[in-house]
């Protein structure tokens, strides 16, 4: 790669948008849901990304050959520019695809999306793009839990994705935050939806549709007779954002459910489940 000295170095860390904002639970923010795992694990963007996408496109359309990478120089935690059908995106390499070592699992740091790409779609990230904070912010829908206490249903995931998707700008109120993990617990409001002079939250909508319940209605008693005993109190919070981002957990809720159909749960998530032989 001819322009190695102009790329984000292996010891550089791109700043995080979460750290650049003085989050306040008295303020209303506006943002876009960019990726959904389930209502307890999703990512939002609170800053405009259009100009950044234009800059990436304009730069790499001219100079991408100078920043082309080969598999031997691509490594985990490396920042890069990734090309897909939507254009160029800033990404972080999180894993080598063991089935095909010329493919890599990358995390789009401005969108919260995991992708599997061939090495010829990855380019060294020029240093001018390293000073811009990673825009994807980890979020949790505040004070709601699955109806069964443990697993979000396919309909709940589908409904949440449907009402928050499509580049729809949402009002965001902060309920709580976890600075060490850079996670926001949020109430979401679609300003275009008004009922009786009030704008209901997405949180309340899921509850009203019997797709979620208030978190304070959680039961501490797991269902009787099950062979996989949860090791965590609030199973619906797992896998956590970090596990999805670094490729150690399935990248989508659907993939998780499919894998649980054919892989023992305690093998798939050894830190979450314990197998108890039926009596």
Q: What is the pLDDT of residues 131-171, one digit of tens each?
A: 999 999 999 999 999 998 888 999 999 999 999 998 899 99
Query: How long, in residues, is the chain?
Result: 279
Determine the average pLDDT of the residues in 208-227: 73
- The more confident residue out of 35 and 196 is 35
Q: pLDDT at residue 2 above 60?
A: no
267 with 162, same domain: the answer is yes
Whether 129 and 143 map to the same domain: the answer is no
Would you put residue 142 in left (φ > 0), alpha (ψ -120 to 50) or beta? beta
Domain membership flag for residue 23: no
Domain CATH for 244: 2.40.50.90
Residue 3 falls inside a structural domain: no
In a domain, residue 227? The reply is: yes
**pLDDT above 90: residue 232:** no
Packed helices 253-262 and 154-164: angle between N→C axes, nearest 10 degrees: 160
Are both 262 and 169 inside the same structural domain?
A: yes
What lies within 8 Å, CB to CB, of 227 at 6+ separation is: 275, 276, 277, 278
| Mean pLDDT, all residues of the chain | 88
> Is the same domain home to 190 and 230?
yes
Distance CA 81, CA 110 (A): 12
| Shared domain check, 141 and 55 | no
Same domain flag for 154 and 267: yes
Which residues 6+ apart lie within 8 Å of 166 measured at CB? Answer: none
The answer on 264 and 155 residing in a single domain is yes
Is 146 found in the same domain as 256?
yes
Q: Within a domain: residue 256?
A: yes
152 in any annotated domain:
yes
In a shared domain, residues 127 and 187: no
Q: Do 130 and 232 belong together in one domain?
A: no
Domain membership of residue 25 (yes or no) is: no
**Own/partner long-range contacts of 236-239 (Cβ < 8 Å, ≥24 apart):** 236/38, 236/40, 236/145, 236/146, 236/149, 236/150, 236/151, 236/152, 237/40, 237/41, 237/140, 238/269, 238/272, 239/41, 239/269, 239/272
pLDDT of residue 3: 46
Looking at residue 121, which CATH number applies to its domain?
A: 2.30.30.140
Q: Does any domain span residue 19?
A: no
In the listed set 104, 119, 134, which residue is the last one of a domain according to the structure? 134
Residue 199 pLDDT > 70: yes
Instruction: Report the alpha-carbon angle 82-132-85, nearest 5.
Output: 25
Contacts of 153 (CB under 8 A, 6+ apart): 146, 147, 211
- Do both 81 and 172 map to the same domain? no
Distance CA 207, CA 145 (A): 9
- Residue ending a domain, choose from 75, 106, 134: 134
The answer to whether residue 20 is domain-embedded is: no
- Alpha-carbon distance of 47 to 34, in angstroms, equals 12
> What digits encode the pLDDT tens for the residues 114-136?
999 999 999 999 999 999 999 99
**Does residue 220 carry a pLDDT above 80?**
no
Instruction: Quote the pLDDT of residue 258.
Output: 86
- Same domain membership, residue 122 and residue 142: no
Picking from 74, 108, 134, the residue at the C-terminal end of a domain is 134
Count structural domains, the chain.
2
pLDDT at 252: 94
Q: CA-to-CA distance for 157 and 78, rounded, in angstroms?
A: 31
Q: Which domain holds residue 101?
A: 48-134
- Whether residue 263 has pLDDT greater than 60: yes
Counting Cβ atoms within 10 Å, is residue 253 exposed (0-12), middle (13-18) or buried (19+)? Answer: buried
The pLDDT of residue 24: 95
């Amino acid at each position: 790669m001819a322009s190695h000295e102009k790329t984000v170095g292996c010891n550089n860390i791109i700043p995080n948008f979460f750290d650049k904002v003085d989050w306040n639970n008295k303020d209303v923010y506006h943002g876009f849901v960019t990726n959904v795992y389930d209502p307890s694990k999703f990512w939002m963007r609170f800053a405009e990304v259009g100009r950044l996408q234009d800059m990436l496109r304009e730069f790499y359309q001219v100079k991408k050959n100078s920043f082309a990478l080969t598999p031997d120089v691509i490594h985990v935690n490396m920042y890069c520019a990734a090309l897909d059908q939507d254009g160029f995106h800033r990404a972080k390499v999180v894993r080598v695809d063991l089935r095909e070592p010329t493919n890599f699992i990358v995390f789009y740091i401005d969108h919260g999306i995991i992708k599997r790409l061939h090495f010829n779609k990855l380019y060294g990230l020029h240093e001018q793009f390293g000073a811009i904070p990673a825009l994807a912010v980890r979020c949790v829908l505040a004070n709601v839990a699955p109806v069964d206490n443990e697993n979000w249903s396919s309909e709940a995931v589908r409904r949440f994705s449907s009402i928050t998707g499509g580049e729809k700008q949402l009002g965001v109120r902060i309920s709580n935050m976890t600075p060490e993990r850079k996670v926001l617990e949020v109430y979401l409001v679609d300003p275009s939806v008004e009922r009786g002079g009030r704008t209901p939250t997405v949180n309340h909508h899921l509850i009203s549709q019997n797709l979620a319940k208030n978190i304070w209605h959680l039961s501490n008693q797991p269902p009787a007779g099950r062979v996989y005993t949860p090791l965590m109190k609030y199973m619906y919070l797992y896998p956590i954002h970090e596990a999805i981002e670094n490729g150690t957990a399935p990248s989508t809720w659907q993939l998780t459910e499919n894998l649980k159909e054919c892989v023992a749960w305690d093998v798939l998530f050894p830190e979450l489940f314990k197998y108890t032989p039926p009596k």
